[in-house]
Structure 1
């Protein structure tokens, strides 16, 4: 791969990460505490890179344009593995697209002071624009994505510059280890790039250097998430009328709470631009991956070849859920991160790796990752079914 091609693909990886996750992650992470969250961010960024490389190697071995994760897991775990992967994939893809649509609609409604009666119309417009780009050719998507990423970084730098003036260092001393398990799914959701792996492997012509754009994209995402966490936690208090907990309760992106505290029109404008572009880049990446996934299921499992049916299966269900349930922004991300992503892009790739290694050190490292992913999966499952309640106030 050329340097230009490597960086264009790394922007796709970073764009896949910098979306609703970066808007939601500081909310739960901040309540649990800055330093505990940073520890989890460092650990899970490494573990997600590990699982991503495992999957990229598997995809590269097949060199098949329609090969996707259901087909991959069928090879390793049989028919049951294929359908477990399919269900987990749908949880991830649908959950993320739902959260993107809901989150961006909330931002537009609040920033432009649009009456709630027009919310369905706003949702439909956002859906139409984002989905049109996601359904475009790879060359057009790479072009759009590079431009959007440059605009994203511009807005991000302005936000950091304005936000840094409102940082209160005392807020970094807050620690709530009991609430950290609730923050972990959000942290994992902020570091997922795996759905784009089959697409970038195909675009890279099955190059063995695919780890380069993955590593660069992940590094970009980690740096941006870290800086954003510093500013968000430093500016917004944990509890109160305008706080991280208030954002958690209302399901609003963190940029809106920050704009209330900083009282800066420029921050509000740039925060809106940043949030919309962040969601757009992720929606396009995830939408493109969901399109490939739907095509894999329809063609390779059901022998159905219809591009319009691919569109309907991929994009209409998230639109319907977002239309009727407009208050599930954070809930959708939590389920996506703690159940779908952890199972499909954490536990299963680690099991594949276990089957192929003999080194004791490699077995130890993989065991640590597998235990961490499994604990996260179990805790999120218990929370989802109401069997475990984590109180941000402690006790």
Structure 2
């Protein structure tokens, strides 16, 4: 067999392998989906729907391109490294220099870590409430309950990539099924929305602008992208880029389909006045629906959805925080990576446990402050890197590049404006 024939045969095998969808791909798709769908989904219909029906329509149309193009850009950025096993911290230092690279890496870690604390508090509160209100039992010791929950979550992550992917598989299927079930359950109570455009252009533009960050974070699985990309490198070698984009595309479709169906179903079941009231009351959409419709079905499913959503997001965010912590400390010390990893896990365990026990109200502000950094890392930095990194030059001038850069700038500006 000639060398040319052998190369052609080898090339065909690679193409076939990349085009074939495997269980590995499905598990990573579910992991990305699970990381994105956190407790925030329960507030998404209110946050987007309260701006009016036409704002909801526009944001629904923008959600797909924003989700896929942004995460694809971040994946391409991680893959642009000259090292085959580089994580996020390695890539930013390689392309932006030691000083800026370490600063970006530190900001990246500090944007994920507060969200982990929030999920620790949320998980404890959800389980505690379920035990007291649904099971009718006495409230357990918060110290023991929170410690046990955090310990179990972290143990899953320490068990390795396969165990983590399996955990996501077990968690995400019920989550998707319940989201679809509630969306269908609400269909009989749908009403015709107000199609009259009764807002001024300024009011409409303002509601759209302030809704962009909501969409950015509701569909974001930024913390797990670096680990995801490196897993595809190990699995597919030179085909990692093609396979990564294929998985990202299917994840985006799954997210848009399930989440937007849930959002529209909830919004069409409530009047604009009710949506505004729910926003003023600062309650989740399921809590509000259970109250106004006197539905025990929704009241029972609410805690279950919150528990599953928080658990899946916790796992994904812990993965990102762990990888980021290890990368930062490894560049500052000469400690072995295994030692750094153990130190990081211990620090994060006790930090999350402490936050869960203390149950501080300031965590909402911490989440808001982490928002601009996530938007910059997911939307702005990878697009700017296109004009800085030679290996990404083929994406210069593309509509997707300018679109994501614009959305990222608007998102950061809206977040900063809302904090003033």
Compute the TM-score of the two structures, normalised by the length of structure 2: 0.79
Indicate the SS of the match to 2:393: coil
Match of 1:245, SS state, is: helix
2:378 corresponding residue in structure 1: 345
Residue number among 5, 19, 22 corresponding to 2:38 in the alignment: 19
- Contact conserved, 1:186 with 1:334, CA < 8 A, in 2? no
Aligned position for 2:404: 369
Q: 1:26 to 1:359 in 2, by over 3 A?
A: closer
Is 1:147 aligned with 2:170? yes
Residue 30 in 1 paired to residue 65 in 2?
no
- 2:98 maps to 79
- 1:157-196 superposed matches below 5 A: 157-170=180-193, 177=204, 178-196=206-224
- Corresponding position of 2:58: 39
Of the three residues 150, 153, 160, the one matched with 1:127 is 150
- Cα-to-partner distance string for 1:144-163 (whole Å, 9 max, x where unaligned): 11111111122223212323
Give the 5 Å matches for 1:214-293: 214-239=248-273, 243-248=277-282, 252-293=283-324
Shift of the 165–122 alpha-carbon distance from structure 1 to 2, 3 Å rule, reads: farther
- Which runs of 5 or more residues in structure 1 are unaligned? 387-395
Cα distance 1:148–1:62, how it changes in 2: closer, same or farther (>3 A)? same
For residues 330 and 229 of structure 1, what CA distance do their matches in structure 2 show? Answer: 22
Cα deviation digits, residues 170-191 of structure 1 (max 9, x gap): 3677866334443322211111
Following superposition, the deviation at residue 44 of structure 1 comes to 4.6
Measured in 2, the distance between the counterparts of 1:242 and 1:121 equals 38
Distance 1:37 1:156 in 2: 19
**Which residue is 2:7 aligned to?**
none
Q: 1:253 and 1:118 mapped to 2: Cα distance? A: 26
Match of 1:389 in 2: none
1:357 has 2:390 as partner:
no
SS in 2 for 1:303: coil
Deviation >6 Å, runs of 4+: 171-175
Q: Is the 1:152–1:278 Cα contact (8 Å) retained in structure 2?
A: yes
Contact 1:19 1:278 in 2 (8 A): yes
Q: 2: distance between equivalents of 1:253 and 1:136? A: 33
Change (3 A) 1:96 1:64: farther
Q: 1:69-108 to 2 correspondence within 5 Å?
A: 69-108=88-127
What is the CA distance between 1:287 and its match in structure 2? 0.9
Superposition deviation, residue 270 in structure 1:
2.3
Deviation at 1:116, TM superposition (A): 7.9
Structure 2 counterpart of 1:68, from 87, 93, 107: 87
Query: How far has the Cα of 1:320 moved from its partner?
Result: 3.6
Match of residue 10 from structure 1: 29
- In structure 2, how many angstroms separate the alpha carbons of the residues matched to 1:91 and 1:232? 33
**1:105–1:123: 8 Å Cα contact kept in structure 2?**
yes
**In structure 1, distance between residues paired with 2:285 and 2:297:** 16
Distance 1:255 1:105, change over 3 A: farther
Distance 1:166-1:121 versus aligned 2 partners, 3 A rule: farther
- Residues 382 and 116 of structure 1: CA distance in aligned 2, closer, same or farther (over 3 Å): farther
Query: What is the distance in 2 between the residues matched to 1:148 and 1:332?
Result: 27
How many residues get paired? 380
Cα displacement (A) at 1:309: 0.7
Displacement of 1:324 in angstroms is: 3.5
CA distance in 1, matches of 2:228, 2:302: 29
Structure 1 pair 148–256 and aligned structure 2 pair: CA distance change class (3 A): same
2:77, 2:382 within 8 Å by CA — same for their partners in 1? no
Structure 1 residue 239 displacement after superposition: 4.8
- Deviation at 1:32? 1.7
Contact map agreement 1:24 1:330 (CA 8 A) in 2: no
When residues 100 and 35 of structure 1 are mapped into structure 2, their CA distance, relative to the original with a 3 A threshold, is farther
2: distance between equivalents of 1:183 and 1:242?
A: 14
